[in-house]
Structure 1
Amino acid sequence: MSNLLKVKSLSAIMGEAQETGEHTLKRSLGSGSLIALGIGAIIGTGIFVLTGTVAAQYAGPGVVYAFILAAVGCVFAGFCYAEFSAMIPVAGSAYTYGYATLGELFAWIIGWDLVLEYAFGAATVCSGWSGYVLSLGQDFGLRLPPELAGTPGSVFVLYQGHWEFLGRVQAKLEQSGIDWHSLPQRHGVFNLVAFIGIMLVTSILVVGVKESANFNSVIVAVKLFVLAVFLVVGGNTLIHHPEMMKVNWHPFLPPNRGHFGDFGWSGVLRGAGVIFFAYIGFDAVSTAAQEAKDPKKDMPRGILGSLIICTVLYILVGLVLTALINYKYLNLPDALAVGMDATGVRWGALLVKIGALGGLSSTMVVMLLGQSRVFFSMSKDGLLPPFFSTIHPKFRTPWISSITVGLVVATFSSLIPLAKLGEMCSIGTLLAFIIVCAGVWVLRKRSPELPRPFRAPWMPVTPILGILVSFGLMAGLPWETWVRLFVWLALGLIIYFAYSRKHSRVQLGLGPEPPH
């Protein structure tokens, strides 16, 4: 058992961080680029898609409370990530932190768990992205057959001569007194748009991290502008039509309907567990630590700065959206566009759709970047096959890892419904946060003398609260999601004992893998 908990020495990790040459990752990102990466990941599906979903299914306008609760949990975990990423500036994020503090078995578990966070996260985002692509296409008369426009099980109905996604037109049908069951129906089979979207983002990542960061920074500026327009136009509409707020915000927190998570405060807790997915971007910043120019200063700024900015925006957008549209009709993949439609500003709805496309695109970039960098680190340690750590000689990116991850994620996003993807990503993220918080606490006790460019405040209160809040949010998720987590981790342990343990460079007493 002791061998399973063998730690990777900090000297070996820091040696990898200081490697240079054409076979290493290129340090080209400053604090501005890292904050943009964080915003690029955070402001995506959470604000453009899940805001409506959580309001409709769990909390009503009280989705704002869910955002605040999730943000509080993120602050504690964010401090711990900032300490680790400044201290251990390598690409593996929580995986590497776990290896240095809790041992190889925990490192493997967290690395395998990060697949849930980043791969399922990118798939979730792309599922929402495809909804906005299809919606925008319909505005210009472009439509795909229903079988290629949705995941298996998604329902399309024939309405006004066109096949429409049921979630998008259900409110209109009810208001018109039309029973959607009476309309012709077809079902999705394979989301072609989502598959193509992931592969396009993968191509950008293969070309280079600096190019990916520049693309992301431009898109971040666009989507911040779009959100500002949504808040200004929506706020102006509400000022002139205050009756919309009175109707749609009553009750602000719908009463529980007899089951845990079915509105009420338990619905806020469950909604926070689901919407926690909206915040995972700040920890994805830590996967770029080995590509930061000055990680000691830049990483804490990137992680905490992006978290603060996005929390404020989430609260404001949640308030305006639920005031414009009754929460019962917000279970849509393009909720913000529908909210803008309610203002009557035609160009505004079009702008939101374009901004959402850009926003979700940048989120996919950061999620896929994070996943490929985790595989890169695990491969260098011998826990995954060596081709995952192969660096492209021209682009200086882990290109095989990026392409492999892209293909898997593209398949996920094409075949698995949005809600299931979001729940799996959230529980994976929360487990990662628990291990990172525990790792900071352990390392403070074990090696208090180590230099820490950034120190998480209020020790040990900060990691303890990070663990408790994260576990509480996990507890609010459906039991089926827990079952899927345990099955996923069991599959990972089979791979670890069948392959990884036998090839682990730490177990074999070898130093860092030479660049290739």
Structure 2
Amino acid sequence: MSNSNAGGSETLSSNVGLLGVLALLVGNAIAVPIFVLPGPLAGDAGPAIVVAALLAAIPASFVVLYNALLGSAMPVAGGLYVYISRLVAPFWGFLVPVTIPLVAWASLLITATGFAEYTQIFFDVSPLVLVYGLLAFTLFINVVGLRLVAQVQLVFFVGLLLALLTFIVPGATAVDTANYTPFFPEYGAFALAVVALFYPFLGFGLLIELGEEIDDPKRTIPLVLGLGIGIVAVVYVALIAVLVGVVPYTQLGGEADLALVASVYLPWWGEYVIAAGAIFAVVTTVNTTLLVFSRTLMRASRDGILPESLSHIHPRFDTPHVSVLALGLPPFLLVPIAGEIVGLSTFIGLASLTAYFFCAVGLWNLPREFPEHYANAPFRLRRSRGLLLAVVGGALTTACFWVITLLQQPIVGLVLLGWFVLAYGYYQYRLRKRDPSQLYLTMTSLDAHERVSDGSAGVASGRSHPRRSGRASTRDSPISAETFDAETAATRDDRDSVDPGSGE
């Protein structure tokens, strides 16, 4: 990705081809969690973590299906927030941007912890210094809008894959099958590992969050998702199988265990190669972590359900700096819990799969609510069979995640439930401050979010919801920097004209 788009648009360049998108997706999925999570999880769950990785691919497959169908039928900016609010109900969609900060904070803490653990292999530096340094660096590059150019991103991605292959291929010959016994030392820890290992698969959600910015999304999204999940699943399972096969699981439990295990069967430089791969993963992660999340907050802000300040664009850097600061500053205060890697990963997995369940409900409603969009999807499932199976499967998987979390990590489930209750209160507060009917129309229309194709009619024509129409389309995406600020101002003026007495 370039430093900035031509003209500094809000969106990424949409000139990335199939291979470029696949590299971005796999690079986003094969990220810091796969270097940090296996050690702590294997230390508790034992060799069964291999099966846990396979089981985590099941909900990931549902996510792939939802992403492929919705992302190709309705490529929009705002991803899950737009899909759920338009296809299910505004409040359920509102839970996405209001929960995003917690997910972003947890993700940043995991990334910073992994960076600190693996950097210490090279340098004897205090882990706190490294954690705070990484958080500050991430915040800085996202505020000023620095982006790795595509070629540099590809170099880091190749380096990451080479590091993983260096661990997996020689490691396969060093496996001692006796280390796979006992295979299930702790069933509760095994179940929790399934929830936690769902987190690394969430890189696939990047496609629908940036759906409007992908070239030829109706063809690219389904193809890339299918290839991507196959590549990532094979890498995850192979890596974990080597990890627990080379040394007894009782010797595992640290965040940097991949590097330590590599030193058992590789020459002296082996652990440094693995540590370098983890740092490559950090670089590719900080380049996108706040990018996607801040755009979703900005879209919800433009709808009027979040404070308007979250959609403000920096006059110099052309970035949603207020949203970035809201996501990037709180982790500095949360560093004391950064070591709770399993709990943080479980929270991310549970919150994300819950959102995707509502996404599945939206997919069920898609043929009825937006029939033309669904008809233009490159592939469709029968509503009475395929879609029903997708929704029921997603519901059962989500229910299992909640039961496992409440039994094994009850504080995680209670925090998320408590946050939803607080979110409902804030949602009612926003409704009282604005015109509820106008806000409902805004949050159920695709006008401001949908990609406009090359002048052709059809799925991306900027039409309102056929039953909820009543608001003229005033914005198309992608937009230039010059119109970005004007659009924000126009949105503000439009809202003020609806409810002159409202405030933020």
TM-score class, shorter = 0.7 to 0.9
Give TM-score scaled by structure 2 length.
0.78
Match of 1:290 in 2: 212
Count of residue pairs the alignment pairs up: 432
Match of 1:237 in 2: 174
2 CA distance for matches of 1:213 and 1:471? 40
Residue identity opposite 1:134 in structure 2 = Q
Q: State which drifts further: 294-303 or 350-359.
A: 294-303
2 CA distance for matches of 1:410 and 1:298? 38
Deviation at 1:221, TM superposition (A): 1.3
Contact 1:24 1:396 in 2 (8 A): yes
Contact 1:127 1:413 in 2 (8 A): no
Superposed counterparts of 1:148-163, under 5 Å: 149=127
Q: Does 1:515 align with 2:484?
A: no
1 CA distance for matches of 2:333 and 2:27? 23
Using CA pairs below 8 Å that are at least 6 residues apart, which structure has the higher relative contact order? 1
Superposed counterparts of 1:88-487, under 5 Å: 88-137=74-123, 142-144=124-126, 149=127, 191-208=128-145, 211=148, 215-238=152-175, 244-246=176-178, 248-254=179-185, 263-264=186-187, 266-392=188-314, 396-413=318-335, 415-417=337-339, 418-450=341-373, 451-455=375-379, 457=381, 458-477=386-405, 478-487=409-418
Q: Does 1:60 align with 2:46?
A: yes
Q: Which runs of 4+ in 1 moved over 6 A?
A: none
In the alignment, structure 1 segments of 5+ residues that lack a partner are 1-19, 150-190, 239-243, 255-262
Q: Does 1:37 align with 2:24?
A: yes
Give TM-score scaled by structure 1 length.
0.77
What's the CA shift string for 1:86-119, capped at 9, x where partnerless?
2222221111101111121111112223333333
Q: State which drifts further: 502-511 or 409-418.
A: 502-511
Residue identity opposite 1:291 in structure 2 = E
- Secondary structure of 2:86's counterpart equals helix
1 CA distance for matches of 2:17 and 2:431? 34
Deviation at 1:344, TM superposition (A): 4.7
Match of 1:161 in 2: none
Q: State which drifts further: 343-352 or 466-475.
A: 466-475
Deviation at 1:432, TM superposition (A): 1.2
1 CA distance for matches of 2:110 and 2:70? 27
In the alignment, structure 2 segments of 5+ residues that lack a partner are 1-5, 443-470, 476-485, 489-504
CA RMSD of aligned residues (A): 2.6
2 CA distance for matches of 1:459 and 1:308? 22
- Secondary structure of 1:363's counterpart equals helix
Percent identity between the aligned chains? 24
What's the CA shift string for 1:273-316, capped at 9, x where partnerless?
11111111111332122322322223333433322211110000
2 CA distance for matches of 1:214 and 1:467? 41
2 CA distance for matches of 1:367 and 1:274? 18
What's the CA shift string for 1:164-220, capped at 9, x where partnerless?
xxxxxxxxxxxxxxxxxxxxxxxxxxx332222133233333454863655443322
Q: Indicate how the Cα distance of structure 1 residues 132 and 21 shifts in structure 2: closer, same or farther if over 3 A, else same.
A: closer
2 CA distance for matches of 1:313 and 1:65? 14
Residue identity opposite 1:56 in structure 2 = G
Contact 1:95 1:110 in 2 (8 A): yes
1 CA distance for matches of 2:12 and 2:288? 16
Residue identity opposite 1:364 in structure 2 = V
1 CA distance for matches of 2:222 and 2:331? 29
Residue identity opposite 1:220 in structure 2 = F
